[in-house]
Amino acid sequence: MNKHDASYRLLFHNPHLVRGLFQGIVSGPWLEALDWDGLQALPTDYISDKLRQRQGDCVWRIPRRDGQALFLLLMLEHQSNNDHAMALRMLTYRGLLYETLLRREPGLLPTALPAVLPLVLYSGVPRWSAAIDVADLIEPAPPGLQAYQPTLRYLLVDEGQLVEQGGLPGDNLAALLFRLEHNRGLEDVQKLIQTVYNCTEGSQYRELRRAFVSWTRHVLLPRALPQVQVPPVDDLLEITDMLADQSRSWTHQWKMEGVQEGLQEGRQEGRREGLKEGLREGRQEGELVLLKRLLARKFGPLPDEAEQRLKAATSAQLETWSLNILDAETLEEVFQE
C-alpha cells in the first residue's frame, strides 16, 4: 500500500471525518434515519471460500434509529487513472462482506441481511469515467436471461469535481481534505491547514489531527515539493509556521512543480487524443488540459467565458497564457498577450 492510500485509510478510519462526509457532502433522505452516535468501525479483512484474502479500505456500521443497521462500505480509490473494473470490485467486496458477517453473526439469517452503501472516494485529477453499475460491464443478455444478471451501483464522490464546482462547506473536515488535495497553491494550503486546526481543537480530535499531519507531511508536501527536504513536524500549527517561514522560496518552487506535473499530464492526455485525432491535435489538447488544470488550481472554478476562450485558443495562445500564469494575480492577467 502506498503512502497516499495508507494516509487516506488512516483519515477515514476516524469517525469525525466520516461524519463530515455524510453530513455535509453526501446527501439523501435516508441520512435522517441514521444514529450517528452509534457509528462503529468494523474489520476489513475478508477471507473467501478459496482462502484468498481481500481487504477493503473502510467499513462502518451505522445503526438506524429504528434499531436496524446500515453498513457503509467505503472503497477509497487514489489512482490518477480511472479503475474501469471498480464496479466489479465493489460487487466482490459486498459479497465477501456478507460472507464475513454470516460467519461472525450467524443469527443474521434467516432474517434479512443488512443494507450496504458502496461508496467510492476518488481523488484523481481526470474526471471519473468508469462504469457506476456492474451491469454496464456485462454484455447484453439474451431475452429471458436479463433477470439473472448481477446489478450493483456504487455512490461516487469525485473530489476534484466537487472542488471545481465550488460550494463545499467551509468548516467541513472532509471538504477541507478535498480542497487540500486539489489546492490552489502554497497560500491556499496555509489557510486550509489553519482551518483544519481550528476545526479540530479539543482532545476528541487528537487522532484526526495526527492523521492530517501524517498526510500533509508524507503525501501533500512531498508531492508538491519533491526537491524539498520537509523537516519532521508533529503538529498542524508547526506545519503552518513552517509554510509561513518558507513561503517566499517555496511558493515559486510549488508553482514550477505544478507546471511540471501539469505538463506530464498534458503530454499523457495529448498522446491519448493523438491516437484518435492525430499527433498535432493531441499535443494541443494536452496543452489545454494542462492550462485548465493550473488555472483551476490557482483561481478556482473557471467561468464559462474563460472555458470558451480556452477552447477557441491557438497553440501559441495556450503557450503564452501558460507562461503568464506564473506571475498573474487575476484570471484576466493570464489572458493578456
| Per-residue pLDDT reduced to its tens digit, 227-272 | 777 778 888 888 888 877 766 556 655 655 554 555 455 555 544 4
Greater confidence (56 vs 296) lies with 296
Give the residue from 244, 240, 246 showing the smallest Cα distance to 197: 240
- pLDDT average, residue stretch 59-71: 87
Question: Considering the chain, what percentage of its residues have pLDDT values greater than 70?
Answer: 80
Provide the CB-side half-sphere exposure for 200 (13 A, CA): 28
Q: Which residue has the cell 477515514?
A: 12
- Strand 155-158 and strand 40-41: the pairing is unpaired
C-alpha torsion angle, residues 305, 309, 310, 316 (rounded to 10): -160
The answer, yes or no, to whether residue 273 has pLDDT greater than 60, is no
Greater confidence (290 vs 278) lies with 290
- The full set of domain ranges for the chain reads 3-165, 183-245, 261-334
Query: Which pLDDT value is given to residue 333?
Result: 85
Question: Considering the chain, what percentage of its residues have pLDDT values greater than 90?
Answer: 27
The answer, yes or no, to whether residue 286 has pLDDT greater than 50, is yes
Q: How far apart are CA 214 and CA 196, in angstroms?
A: 14
DSSP 222: H
The CA-CA-CA angle for residues 311, 256, 8, to 5°, reads: 90
- pLDDT average, residue stretch 213-218: 90
pTM > 0.85: no
Query: C-alpha cell of 302?
Result: 473557471
